[in-house]
Structure 1
Amino acid sequence: MNAIFLMLIGLGAMALGYFVYSKFVAEKIFRLDPGFRTPAHEFEDGVDYVPTNKFVLWGHHFTSVAGAAPIVGPAIAVIWGWVPAFLWVVFGTIFFAGVHDAGAIWASNRNKAKSVGSLTGDVVGKRARSIFMIVIFLVLLMVNAVFAVVIAGLLTQFQTSVVPVWGAIVVALIIGQLIYRKMIGLLTVSVVGVVALYALIWVGPSMPLALPELFMGLTDKAQWIILLFVYAAIASLLPVWMLLQPRDYINGLQLFVGLGLLYGAVLLSAPDVVAPAFNDNVPEGTPSMIPLLFVTIACGAISGFHGLVSSGTTSKQLDKETDLRFVGYFGAIGEGCLALAAIIAATAGFATLADWQAIYSGFGQGGVAAFVQGGANILSNGLGFDIELSQTILTVMAVLFAGTTMDTGLRLQRYIFQEWGVIYNINWMQKAAPATLLAVASCLLLAFGAGGDGSGGLLIWPLFGTTNQLLAGLTLLVITVMLARLGRPMLVTLIPLLFLLVMTVLALLIQLKGFYEQANWFLFGLDLVVLAAAILVALECGSTLNRLRSGKAEELEDQS
């Protein structure tokens, strides 16, 4: 199989999904109203609630949800063969992720931009909200702590990426001023921003930078982790228009250019996929493909983290309700394109099957390293780029995706603490600065409390896939109940909801058995907590929808 066919079929199917299926969902299911007054206008404050051009908002949404996960997950999952990974990414993007992301924005937009966790209390009940808030906190803790480790590792390993990664922040600050203070046209700003970012990438290989290997007892990796959290804390407190929006928007354009280069190189070099379509010779210890495929590839098919972004930051910046189709559904399409690129790089970026098998010697191998290595080979062969420059381009892509997700993730974690402050009437926790300090402290406590070099977040990462997909199921539950109350068709969300709940529970049971055999009692206990949450969510789902079908909507009051 030539990689060109994978690319054309995948991209063609996703384009069809956007132009046909998303239009059907927007018009017939969500019934988007261009005249609806969005929370961005109703509560405009210039900090969190800011009516935003849909292209700028798409950039924020896309780069916030498309972290390292749509690279890591698919580049690991191809160990079962490229066909299962390809099918789940393509169909998951069209029928799961797009509906989930757009639906989360719609649900939040229709309820004063409440986060999906807070909204659960209104739509389903207080029990469901309590479960949701715990799961949300765990997901954000995992994302923020682990992405800091991933970024720090890449900055340490690929020192040529340091200048373009940190230089992108300076470019974003300038872009924010040009858009909102100088009122310069978006096209001009876009061109200048993208050129500046790629100029930094070109400079990167000639100016590699590294931190001291040991400073005040901290390794260079640990130092990067601390610096990343200091930056993320500051970024989470700044008005969204000053850094978050312009950084995400320009990064989104730059990253799409990077994807364009990679796909263009595929067309020119026409590499063959050397990995097997279905791998019958998986390494010893590799778990069963079903259900693990559907939690290994989360971002890139469907991810609960997207619901947090959709309802946490995106809905607060929505200018017109009709913009959410482009922002939410097309944002999911963008991530699907990244996941497809990761599959191609990790299966067609190697010369022989033996070279591929050397990378995939055990489950969990591949990931970002396979994407960078395989993608760099494709860029070098197709466009004639120097291999070091190719590696820098792809490394910067991965770091910028992870970095923008971490920016948004810490802001969302701050919102969670503030919501807890409101729920439990803790006045000081409702303020931005204390809530941000709590968010950073919890991440650093996990990072350094469970690992001396700051990599402690990896301790609970094995549960990310299942917890994240449970969160996606919870989000779909809220959307489904809202549709049921409005008397609208709900199969477009109910089918993905049931599928995710079944696969998540099966995956949790398999992981539970593995943790027991390994005598890993910490993860065993945490797995039980998440499993109990999944069962309770299923019961809440059945109970709520059954009452609605019985015409007893009046009984669906908040439960204590």
Structure 2
Amino acid sequence: MSAIILLLLGLGGMAAGYFLYSRFIAEKIYQLDPDFRTPAHEYEDGVDFVPTNRYVLWGHHFTSVAGAAPIVGPAIAVIWGWLPAFLWVVFGTIFFAGVHDSGAIWASVRNRAKSVGALTGEVVGGRARSVFMIVIFLVLLMVNAVFGVVIAKLLINNPGAVVPVWGAIAVALVIGQLIYRRIIGLGIVSIVGVVALYALIYVGPQVPVSLPDSFMGLSASANWILLLFAYAAIASLLPVWMLLQPRDYINGLQLFVGLILLYGAVLLANPTVVAPMINHDVPAGTPSLLPLLFVTIACGAISGFHGLVASGTSSKQLNRETDARFVGYFGAVGEGALALASILAATAGFASLADWQAVYTAFGSGSLTAFVDGGAAILANGLGLDASVAATLLTVMAALFAGTTMDTGLRLQRYIFQEWGEIYQQKWMGKPFPATLLAVISCLLLAFGAGGADGSGGLLIWPLFGTTNQLLAGLTLLVITIMLVRRGRPAIYTLAPLVFLLVMTLAALLIQLKQFFEQSKWFLLGLDAVVLVAAILVTLECVAALKRSRQESTGEA
């Protein structure tokens, strides 16, 4: 089968979702008001609350939620065949992710830009908030700790990516000043930023950088992780316009250029999808497609982490409420396009079915390797790029997105500690620096406490990320649904996705519980049980709140 068919069907479906379905959701369901005074204006402080151009904010939101997950998830899930992954990415983007992301921004903006965890306290109740914020904290802990390991491995395996990855920070600092000081128009700034970024990608392989195998008793991976967290801590304390916004914006443009190159190569090379449509001969030990597909592919279809970004940073920068459609829904479409590219690279980037099967020897074996190697082969065949340059381009793309997600994730974790400080009346915890310090310490305790000297402890609890993350998305949709019911608006457009997600996620948690018990993984077993109990408690609280809201709505009617 030609990869061009999947490309056209996938992008066409997502485009129709944005131009038609998102308009309906924005105007009829969320009823976005262009005259509503957003928190970015009401609480403007030049640090976290900053009214922002919607294109720049889209870049921040999109690259913060993208990370490496929309590449890794689909690249792993094609082990069941390309069709299930393709359908979930396309329909998940249209009916799940876009509604979830734009809804989370709207819900937060209507409640003083509170995070979805704090918002739960007002919409549902104090008990639900306490449990929900624990789930949120676990998701952020997993994301930050694991992405530190992912970026470190990418930099070690491809030393040519070090210069462009770190050089992008310097480019972003300059771009931030140019945009914020209004020195140059956004169009020229965008062109200059993208050219500078791709110049660094060209220079990178010619100036490879590697850390020593051992320094101060720590491995290269451990030292990279420490450097990454030191950077993320500083970045989370800087005003959003100085580094976070411009870095994410330029990375967003860089991704679109990368996608145009990859999609253009597909159109020119017309590669064949060698992977089976439905794989009936999966390797031994591969879990069942249902319900694991829907937690393996999270980002790229729907992800709870998106709700954290939407209600944590994006809502604080929204210039007009109507921008929530472009920032939230179109941000989800951008991530869906990245997930689609991952599917194409991991299924059409191989010469034959035998070559594909040689990579997919076990569940989880595809991952970034299939994306980078498969995508590089497509770029080389379609555009004639040098294989090493193509591989560097895709590696930098993955590393930059993982980095922007880590930046935002640590800032969000700082917000969690600050909100806990407000809730439990601990004024010292409500200040940015102590909260950031607590966020970094918690991540490093997991990284080095559970992983030893190489700092890979985040990988220990990573098997629970998919289920915990999708659970968070379902619970975020529950909060949005309750708000809609209280306003007397149709709730089926959020209720249907959340029921589907909760059923699939709870089933996946039960399956994992059994697996961890059989494998004697007691730490993961206990953590799985905690997440499962938390999910049930929050769901019951939300269902009770939903019933109350319907009764109140009926009474008022």
| TM-score, normalising length: structure 2 | 0.99
Whichever residue aligns with residue 169 of structure 1, its letter is: I
Indicate the residue corresponding to 2:527 in structure 1.
526
Moved more, 540-549 or 74-83: 540-549
Kindly indicate whether the alpha-carbon contact (under 8 Å) linking 1:54 and 1:326 is maintained by their aligned counterparts in 2: yes
* Paired residues of 2:485 and 2:553 also in contact (CA < 8 A): no
Q: Deviations over 1:260-299 (max 9, x none)?
A: 1000000000000000000000000000000000000000
Q: Distance in 1 between matches of 2:87 and 2:6?
A: 10
Matched with 1:558 is: none
Alignment of 1:95-174 (within 5 A): 95-174=95-174
Aligned to 2:397: 397
Provide the rounded CA distance (Å) in 1 between the counterparts of 2:431 and 2:526.
33
Note the C-alpha offset of 1:254: 0.7
Structure 1 residue 414 and structure 2 residue 414: aligned?
yes
CA distance, structure 2, for counterparts of residue 176 and residue 156 of structure 1? 29
* 1:477 maps onto 2:484 in alignment: no
Letter in 2 for 1:445: L
For residues 492 and 224 of structure 1, the distance between their equivalents in structure 2, rounded to whole angstroms, comes to: 44
Is the Cα–Cα contact under 8 Å of residues 176 and 242 in structure 2 kept in the other structure?
Answer: yes
**Offset at residue 352 of structure 1 (A):** 0.5
Q: Residues 490-545 of structure 1: CA distance to partner in whole angstroms, max 9, x if unpaired?
A: 01100011001100110000000000000111000100011111212321232122
Runs of 4+ in 1 over 6 A off after TM superposition: none
Residue 415 of structure 1 aligns with an amino acid whose one-letter code is Y
- Residue ranges of structure 2 left out of the alignment (5+ in a row): none
- Residue of structure 2 equivalent to 1:22: 22
State the 1:153 CA deviation: 0.2
In the aligned structure 2, how far is the partner of 1:86 from the partner of 1:516? 32
Within a 5 Å distance, the mapping from 1:155-554 to structure 2 comes to 155-452=155-452, 453-551=454-552
| Paired letter, 1:304 | G
- How many angstroms does 1:551 deviate by? 2.9
Deviation of the 1:183 alpha carbon: 2.9
What residue in structure 1 maps to residue 6 of structure 2? 6
The amino acid of 1:27's aligned partner reads: E
SS in 2 for 1:31: coil
- CA distance in structure 2 between the partners assigned to 1:119 and 1:328 by the alignment: 18
How far apart, CA to CA, are the structure 2 residues paired with 1:550 and 1:49?
36
Q: Report percent identity of matched pairs.
A: 77
Q: CA deviation at 1:547?
A: 1.9
What per-residue deviation string (whole Å, max 9, x for no partner) do you get for residues 96-122 of structure 1? 000000000000001110111000000
Deviation at 1:553, TM superposition (A): 9.0
CA distance in 2, matches of 1:143, 1:207: 30
1:451 is paired with a residue of what secondary structure?
helix
Report Cα offsets for 1:168-211 as digits up to 9, x if no partner.
Answer: 00000000111112431000100000000000001011111101
What amino acid maps onto 1:501 in structure 2? L
SS of corresponding position for 2:552: coil
Which residue number corresponds to residue 54 of structure 1? 54
TM value normalised by structure 1: 0.98
Using the alignment, how far apart are the partners of 1:524 and 1:182 within structure 2?
Answer: 53
- Distance in 2 separating the partners of 1:13 and 1:180: 36
State whether residues 38 and 321 of structure 1, in contact with CA within 8 Å, keep that contact through their aligned partners in structure 2: yes
Contact preservation (8 Å) 2:485, 2:491 = yes
For residue 64 of structure 1, what is the amino acid of its counterpart?
S
Shift of 1:128: 1.1
Distance 1:538 1:52 in 2: 35
The residue that corresponds to 1:557 in the other structure is none
Deviation at residue 255 of structure 1 after TM alignment? 1.0
Counterpart of 1:545, as a letter, is L
Distance in 2, Cα, partners of 1:471 & 1:182: 38
> Partner residue of 2:68?
68
Cα distance in 2, alignment partners of residues 551 and 43 from structure 1: 32
Superposition deviation, residue 552 in structure 1: 7.5
User: Within 1, Cα distance between the matches of 2:228 and 2:552?
Assistant: 51
Cα displacement string for residues 67-124 of structure 1 (whole angstroms, at most 9, x for unaligned residues): 1000000000000000000000000000000000000000000111011100000001
Q: CA deviation at 1:550?
A: 2.5
The amino acid that maps onto 2:520 is A
Which residues of structure 1 form unaligned runs of 5+? 555-560
AA aligned to 1:373 is: D
Preserved CA contact (<8 Å) 1:52 1:317:
yes
Please tell me the residue identity of whatever aligns with 1:544.
Answer: A
**In 2, are the aligned partners of 1:447 and 1:454 still within 8 Å (CA)?**
yes
Say if 1:485 and 1:553, in contact at 8 Å, map to a contact too: no
Q: CA deviation at 1:57?
A: 0.3
Equivalent-residue separation in structure 2 for 1:175 and 1:201 (angstroms): 18
Distance in 2 between residues matched to 1:327 and 1:180, nearest whole Å: 19
SS for the counterpart of 1:18 is: helix
Contact 2:486 2:552 in 1 (8 A): no
Distance 1:185 1:237 in 2: 27
Residue pair 1:547, 1:553 contacting (<8 A) in 2 also: no
Contact 2:116 2:476 in 1 (8 A): yes
* AA in 1 matched with 2:34: P
Q: Distance in 2 between matches of 1:269 and 1:233?
A: 43
Whole-angstrom distance in 2 between the partners of 1:297 and 1:182: 40
Considering only aligned residues, what root-mean-square deviation do their CA atoms show, in Å? 1.1
Residue identity in the other structure for 2:540: L
